[in-house]
Amino acid sequence: MKKIFLIVLITSIFYNAFSQSPASRGKSEIKWHTIQEAEKLFNKSPRPIFIDTYTDWCGWCKKMDNETFTDPVIAEILNSKFYPVKFNAEGKESVTFMGQTFINDGTAGRAHQLAIALLQGQLSYPTVVFMTKEDEKFAVSPVPGFRAAKEMEVLLSFFADDIYKTRKWDEFQKSFVGKVQ
């Protein structure tokens, strides 16, 4: 009887440990939007749009999903100060954004037209894109490459708090003190 109790207890502990959501294991979840949802939200209440452009085959994209985007500090900043978007740069669906329809018709290899526009023709994955409103137009700032949570926090803070308008990146990054452990 003691053996059965012990087996049930151990099984229960393992089940609970591995069946919890990321948030309940000390990781936080980001509320990802489609690009169309982000545009609608922006029009109601402006804030920067953050776009994670990825591909299904990209190992660094998966690493960023598992390590950077699960960090509670990163999730908090993205959820509260941005409209975060996940965009598959090789997706097949047509996307209407800012009054223009973008498609993936295969003429640019596997790349979607929206990915080409957002990444300004420099197709590299992962690349995060910051979209901010400047004088009635969107400014697009792509930042290529994997970013660990500490590096991502600096980038997010630079754009979320409009610091990019008054300070240079090098100056800001040297003095930045973050919360990521």
Q: Is the pLDDT of residue 6 over 60?
A: no
Ranges of beta strands (E only) in the chain are 49-54, 83-88, 95-97, 100-102, 127-134, 137-144
How far is 148 from 113, CA to CA, in rounded Å? 28
Whether the Cβ atoms of residue 165 and residue 133 lie closer than 8 Å to each other: no
Tell me the domains of the chain and their CATH numbers: 27-175 (3.40.30.10)
Read off the pLDDT of each residue in 20-27 and give the average, rounded to a whole number.
44
27-39 tens-digit pLDDT: 669 999 999 999 9
Tens digit of each residue's pLDDT (9 = 90 or more) over 93-107? 999 998 999 999 888
Q: How many CB atoms lie within 10 A of CB 35?
A: 20
pLDDT tens figures, 105-127: 888 788 999 999 999 989 999 99
**pTM of the full predicted structure?**
0.81
Asked whether the predicted pLDDT for residue 16 surpasses 50, the reply is: no
**Is the N-terminal amide bond of 48 cis, ω within 30° of 0?**
no
Tokens of 34: 């489609």
Identity (one letter) of the amino acid at 78?
L
25 pLDDT exceeds 90?
no
How far apart are the C-alpha atoms of 91 and 94, rounded to whole Å?
Answer: 8
DSSP letter for each residue of 43-88: HHS---EEEEEE-TT-HHHHHIIIIITTSHHHHHHHHHHSEEEEEE
Percent residues over pLDDT 90 in the chain: 61
